[in-house]
Structure 1
Amino acid sequence: MGKPTGFMEYQRQLPGDREPLERIKDWNEFHYQFEEEQLKIQGARCMECGTPYCHTGVIINGAVSGCPLNNLIPEWNDLIYRGLWREALERLHKTNNFPEFTGRVCPAPCEGACTCGLHGQPVTIKNNECAIIDRAYEEGWVVPRPPAIRTGKKIAVVGSGPSGLAAAAQLNKAGHWVTVFERADRVGGLLMYGIPNMKLDKKIVQRRIDILAAEGITFVTNTEVGKDFPVGRLLGEFDAVILCGGSTKPRDLPVEGRNLQGIHFAMEFLKANTKSLLDSNLEDGNYISAAGKDVVVIGGGDTGTDCVATAIRHGCRSVVQLEIMPQPPKTRAADNPWPQFPRVLKVDYGQEEAAALYGADPRQYCVMTKRFVGDEQGRVKEVHTVQVEWVKGPQDRLVPQEIPGTEKVWPAQLVLLAMGFVGPERQLLDQLGVELDQFGNVKADFGKFRTNIPKVFVAGDMRRGQSLVVWAIREGRGAARECDRFLMGNTNLP
């Protein structure tokens, strides 16, 4: 521990962002980075606690506390403080294959469990992580490292999102031949097409994919297993299979008028936008445009925020984000103590931009959508809502109850449904005959990742349901370890 009193001497500070009204004019990332001396100061704030909850990754009260990857956070914070950046990278890569992704898009449960946050502000763990990996790329320390020996075993990974990439990277390190199948035209899954460019630049995603390819991983795009590539070939040509297809079936809103034109799932909107941006800088017009429209986003999570920010960059006339749940408190509630994940109000980049452009936070809480109303051409023109309050129902579960007299009509020529996902798509799973759990996810125990079908494993959202990128990476690493054990009788993978 390089600075025992650092947490008392220094205050938490983060580098600034580009001004909202400036950054909405482009699709570039907008976070600045500190100079080295400022980063050392932030690293010095790490207390190196006797019991560092930041890297525990346990579930408390239904949410993760600490890092699911068990990142060695106190170690690399200390190394930052001492200026040992290459050693910090080595510690970081021991547990995390892709810190350039988590350092940008993770909600940082590590910071919610930081001991400094018990009576003050937590260490800037997420920013420190991003600084390490960005410095490593700048210095040329991240280079392809193919395995010296090959086992001859062939493994198929279905899906190239964070769990699939993590599984592929680990199994390739163990010397197996790995083929990753991706049904889209680009590798990366939600990292490529589910997260907007200003939040995660696709050059950063492609940079890591190029390294994985140079290490010997084969990527097959535009190929949907079970449709373009038969299941029989999958099971016949490979010694093991890992399913990493994600939880991609969106939650729908079956209310009156749902079939009107102009109502889309959030991922339709986001994926088409990113693909058109990468293909032609939006010049081909192959995306759902929000330009000049009143936009209603239904759903208050990260995906909803991404829809808000994307619609603003299109030049929408107005944007509102409807959330059926109550507004979170600004500070921890009594039933949400440290080190639980803090369920508090956060203002993300999309809300910042909407407030700067339109003068107010776009989020409206405790709002239930009742119906959509269209014009004579069958296009949506209004969203009708009502306010609700949450009351105890059967078995003391909270349920929404409408408040009379609170009906409201919102103008809308574009409605985006960002209410999460209900499980994986079934076509491939039904063909394989894998067993599902009560939630419609592929059934496999955490830590073992084996399905009921011999030599078929599963990882990520397809197994655990909709979750975080950091969980997907952990699951991919875990499934790779168990797959390696299955193939070789033992494993050295972490």
Structure 2
Amino acid sequence: MADPKGFLTTPRQEWPRRPVSERVRDWNEVYVPGALLPVIGAQADRCMDCGVPFCHDACPLGNLIPEWNDLVSREDWRAAAERLHATNNFPEFTGRLCPAPCEAGCVLAINQPAVTIKNVECAVADRAWEEGFAPPAPPERLSGRTVAVIGSGPTGLAAAQQLTRAGHTVAVYERDDRVGGLLRYGIPEFKMEKRHLERRLEQMRAEGTRFRTSTTVGRDVDAAGLRARYDAVVIATGATAWRELAVPGRELAGVHQAMEYLPLANRVCEGDLAVSPLSAAGRHVVIVGGGDTGADCLGTAVREGAASVTQLDIYARPGGERDEDAEPWPTFPKLYRLSAAHEEAGELRTAPAADADARLFAASTLRLTGDADGHVRSLHVVEVDAGRRPVPGSERTLPADLVLLALGFSGPERGDGLIAQLGLELDPRGTIARDADFATNVPGVFAAGDAARGQSLVVWAIAEGRAVAAAVDRHLTGGPSRLPSPIGPYDRPMTA
């Protein structure tokens, strides 16, 4: 605890964002380059080095937050990077993408703004790369055992890196043409520039991890045959079976899933396309779904030059303060939060009919209507009460010639043949069933991440990857593993 009075004398200061008028004209990250380091030492000083640091429990990775806060405040960046990487394979991802449940569990947050844990984490991760504190860590010797990891999202990458470093020979199979899963084609460039992903993949290749892209297991490669070739298989395909909107007019042209829309915008940034075939330029866009994926669509549509963008959230607008009865500290509360995309939409007034920024709260879609050519032209929405019952007389019509569905995901896809060819059992939610050791009903086959847990956060995905790697290592060696296992398959976030 470098400054015992830091939490009393220093106010919370976050990484400033670039002006809206500037950042919506490009796809670069929204934050002011270089503006974090000048303030981060004082922000780390606000950490109280609590006797019982609840931020540990709030973070499924068990990040050693007070330790690296103290080291940052003392400007010992090498040691801070070592402590950060001791529990997290990819802090540059979580430092940009995680909603920071650790901050909700910060003891200071009981009666003050929490420590800027996420910003400190990002600063340490970036400094580690700049100073060369994150070199490849290949194993000293190989075990002679082989592992196939199916899926290259954060769970698959974390599992692959841990198992490679343990000495096993690991091949990662990815159905897309590039490695990264949703990190590559789901997360917009303005939230995380892909250079961060590429840098980590170069490290993994140098350590010995092998990647097989454009390969759909179950279609291009027989899943049962793959199992026979490897000593173990880890399924980390994610929960990519999207939920549908069952309303009249869903079949109209111009109605698309968010994960049909976002990858195309990312491919433009990758240089694969000059213009997205689903570009929002000049179109009236309505996004159905109030979560992070919907916000990603919002920021993307704004940058593409949409005529208007409105986001529908079926929940009522949350308050700005924690409800201590319903969501007491240190649980992660549902609050009104202003993401970068919502800030942009609000300032640019993309949705004049919205309640706040670009969002219509307590709003449910009734139907979609189109023109004579079968293209969507309007969306009919109604206000709903707490029980999601329509409020009489509240129906209104929004112009819409591009409707994006961001309603979440129900589990892994089943059309590629992977689940059927391996004979995997599913649980009642439609996710892959597994036991306390992450093992499926098929010997040698393990399941981790959203494919088994269900849709979750990037920090839980990485924790799952680290935990399943330890389970696979135990299976391969027949003894205890030296790999850390931060969570169990049945662990869940703290709730009241």
Instruction: Return the TM-score normalized by structure 2.
Output: 0.94
Q: How does 1:131-142 map to 2 (within 5 A)?
A: 131-142=123-134
1:72 maps to: 64
1:218 maps to: 210
**1:352 Cα deviation (Å)?**
0.6
2:493 maps to: none
- Tell me whether 1:404 sits opposite 2:392 in the alignment: yes
Give CA-to-partner distance per residue, 1:321-355, whole Å, 9 cap, x none: 01111111111113222111021100111111111
Give 3-state SS (helix, strand or coil) of 1:402's partner: coil
CA–CA distance in 2 between the matches of 1:286 and 1:22? 22
- Equivalences, count: 474
**1:140 Cα deviation (Å)?**
1.7
2:326 maps to: 335
- Tell me whether 1:323 sits opposite 2:323 in the alignment: no
1:367 maps to: 363
- Tell me whether 1:46 sits opposite 2:47 in the alignment: yes
Letter in 2 for 1:38: V
CA–CA distance in 2 between the matches of 1:229 and 1:486? 24
- Tell me whether 1:377 sits opposite 2:373 in the alignment: yes
1:128 maps to: 120
- Tell me whether 1:461 sits opposite 2:450 in the alignment: yes
1:167 maps to: 159
**1:383 Cα deviation (Å)?**
0.3
Change (3 A) 1:147 1:277: same
Q: Is the 8 A contact 2:256 2:403 kept in 1?
A: yes
**1:231 Cα deviation (Å)?**
1.4
CA–CA distance in 1 between the matches of 2:322 and 2:297? 27
Q: Is the 8 A contact 1:144 1:212 kept in 2?
A: yes
CA–CA distance in 2 between the matches of 1:94 and 1:308? 35
CA–CA distance in 1 between the matches of 2:214 and 2:187? 20
Q: How does 1:13-162 map to 2 (within 5 A)?
A: 13-32=13-32, 33-34=34-35, 36-56=37-57, 66-162=58-154
Q: 1:413 aligns with which of 394, 401, 408?
A: 401
CA–CA distance in 2 between the matches of 1:26 and 1:415? 23
**1:38 Cα deviation (Å)?**
2.3
1:473 maps to: 462
1:354 maps to: 345
Letter in 1 for 2:402: L
**1:277 Cα deviation (Å)?**
2.1
Give CA-to-partner distance per residue, 1:5-37, whole Å, 9 cap, x none: 211121111121101111000000121344645
Letter in 2 for 1:13: Q
Q: How does 1:171-186 map to 2 (within 5 A)?
A: 171-186=163-178
Change (3 A) 1:35 1:279: closer
Letter in 2 for 1:353: E
Give 3-state SS (helix, strand or coil) of 1:250's partner: coil
Q: Is the 8 A contact 1:276 1:287 kept in 2?
A: no
Give CA-to-partner distance per residue, 1:399-452, whole Å, 9 cap, x none: 31111111111100000000100111113112211111110000113x511001
Letter in 1 for 2:343: E
CA–CA distance in 1 between the matches of 2:78 and 2:35? 18
CA–CA distance in 2 between the matches of 1:47 and 1:296? 44
1:208 maps to: 200
Q: 2:295 aligns with which of 305, 317, 321?
A: 305
Give CA-to-partner distance per residue, 1:280-300, whole Å, 9 cap, x none: 4x41x3431100000000001
CA–CA distance in 2 between the matches of 1:330 and 1:159? 38
- Tell me whether 1:444 sits opposite 2:427 in the alignment: no
CA–CA distance in 2 between the matches of 1:463 and 1:232? 19
CA–CA distance in 1 between the matches of 2:38 and 2:213? 43
Give CA-to-partner distance per residue, 1:116-135, whole Å, 9 cap, x none: 11010100000000000101
2:304 maps to: 314
Give 3-state SS (helix, strand or coil) of 1:423's partner: coil
The list of structure 1 runs, each at least 4 consecutive aligned residues, that deviate by more than 4 angstroms after superposition, is: none
Give 3-state SS (helix, strand or coil) of 2:86's partner: helix
Letter in 2 for 1:54: C
**1:233 Cα deviation (Å)?**
2.1
Identify the range of structure 1 (413-422 vs 423-432) with the bigger mean alpha-carbon deviation. 423-432
CA–CA distance in 1 between the matches of 2:191 and 2:15? 16
Give CA-to-partner distance per residue, 1:339-375, whole Å, 9 cap, x none: 1102110011111111111176110011110111010
Q: Is the 8 A contact 1:86 1:136 kept in 2?
A: yes
CA–CA distance in 1 between the matches of 2:39 and 2:320? 28
CA–CA distance in 2 between the matches of 1:465 and 1:337? 25
Give 3-state SS (helix, strand or coil) of 1:422's partner: coil
Letter in 1 for 2:195: K
Q: How does 1:418-437 map to 2 (within 5 A)?
A: 418-426=406-414, 427-437=417-427
Letter in 2 for 1:25: R
CA–CA distance in 2 between the matches of 1:2 and 1:434? 52
Letter in 2 for 1:40: G
Change (3 A) 1:105 1:36: closer
Q: Is the 8 A contact 1:327 1:366 kept in 2?
A: yes
Q: Is the 8 A contact 1:295 1:412 kept in 2?
A: yes
Instruction: Return the TM-score normalized by structure 1.
Output: 0.94
Give 3-state SS (helix, strand or coil) of 2:303's partner: helix
Which consecutive residues of structure 1, in runs of 5 or more, have no partner in the other structure? 57-65, 391-398
Q: Is the 8 A contact 2:186 2:262 kept in 1?
A: yes
Give CA-to-partner distance per residue, 1:143-199, whole Å, 9 cap, x none: 212111001101000000000000000000100000000000000001001100010
Give 3-state SS (helix, strand or coil) of 1:389's partner: coil
CA–CA distance in 1 between the matches of 2:64 and 2:458? 18
Give CA-to-partner distance per residue, 1:205-255, whole Å, 9 cap, x none: 111011101110000000000000111321111000000000001110011
Identify the range of structure 1 (154-163 vs 426-435) with the bigger mean alpha-carbon deviation. 426-435
2:353 maps to: none
CA–CA distance in 2 between the matches of 1:420 and 1:358? 26
Give the % identical residues. Answer: 51
Give 3-state SS (helix, strand or coil) of 2:130's partner: helix
CA–CA distance in 2 between the matches of 1:232 and 1:13? 53
2:184 maps to: 192
Letter in 2 for 1:362: A
